[in-house]
């Protein structure tokens, strides 16, 4: 039977440093996600500032054939139109078609896409991130700001639903088709800044 050799004490700190380095490399090697940022896994949230946005849908910016004359359930993913871009976030109109419930209403789906960076950045989010990594949503349409061709139209746009990366709108079809542009203020959104910790 071979005798057991003890590790010299001067090697113990070196082994601990190597082990800590391996853990850091494993964490840094994982893909960067919003969840890692929200739960402060290798990142610190350095600020959240509330803001509201004004979005505009104009007939001139729509590709030929949109809004589609089919129900929204058949039109999902048929469109990819950049509506708004700010810092590391882009808003894309991904569907614009008849509502499944009412052909006089248009259903618009707007998807948020974030450019995440390991060096940190500033994201625009439709919710606030809490200390525990959960989110608080308060998104809504400012009815006073809904305008078509410069005239107030408070009932023309309604928030239909929202998830963490998209929101949906109901829009008065006849008003949109006879107007050059429809604009509205939506919020609150939050500018979230983050950096490696």
Domain extents in the chain: 32-196
- The more confident residue out of 188 and 3 is 188
Beta strand ranges found along 59-150 (DSSP E): 68-71, 81-86, 89-98, 105-114, 121-125, 127-129, 135-137, 140-148
Residue 179's alpha-carbon distances to 88, 139, 182, in angstroms, are 31, 25, 7
**What is the value of pTM for the model shown?**
0.81
pLDDT tens-place string over residues 152-182: 999 999 999 998 899 999 999 999 999 999 9
Distance between CA 127 and CA 26 in Å, rounded?
30
Q: At residue 24, does pLDDT exceed 70? A: no
pLDDT band, very low/low/confident/very high, at 78 (cuts 50, 70, 90): confident
pLDDT of residue 46: 98
């Amino acid at each position: 039977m071979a005798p057991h050799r003890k590790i010299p004490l001067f090697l113990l700190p070196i082994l601990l440093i190597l082990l800590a380095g391996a853990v850091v490399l494993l964490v840094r090697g994982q893909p960067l996600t919003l969840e890692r940022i929200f739960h402060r896994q290798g990142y610190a949230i350095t600020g959240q500032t509330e803001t509201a946005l004004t979005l505009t849908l104009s007939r001139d910016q729509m590709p030929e054939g949109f809004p589609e004359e089919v129900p929204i359930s058949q039109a999902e993913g048929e469109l990819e139109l950049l509506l708004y871009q700010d810092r590391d976030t882009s808003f894309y109109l991904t569907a614009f078609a008849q509502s499944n419930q009412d052909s006089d209403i248009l259903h618009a789906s707007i998807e948020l896409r974030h450019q995440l960076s390991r060096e940190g950045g500033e994201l625009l989010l439709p919710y606030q991130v809490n200390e525990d990594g959960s989110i608080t949503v308060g998104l809504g349409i400012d009815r006073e700001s809904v305008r078509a061709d410069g005239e107030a139209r408070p009932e023309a746009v309604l928030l239909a639903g929202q998830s963490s990366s998209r929101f949906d709108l109901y829009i008065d079809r006849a008003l949109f088709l006879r107007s050059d542009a429809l604009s509205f203020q939506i919020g609150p959104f939050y500018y979230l800044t983050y950096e490696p910790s």
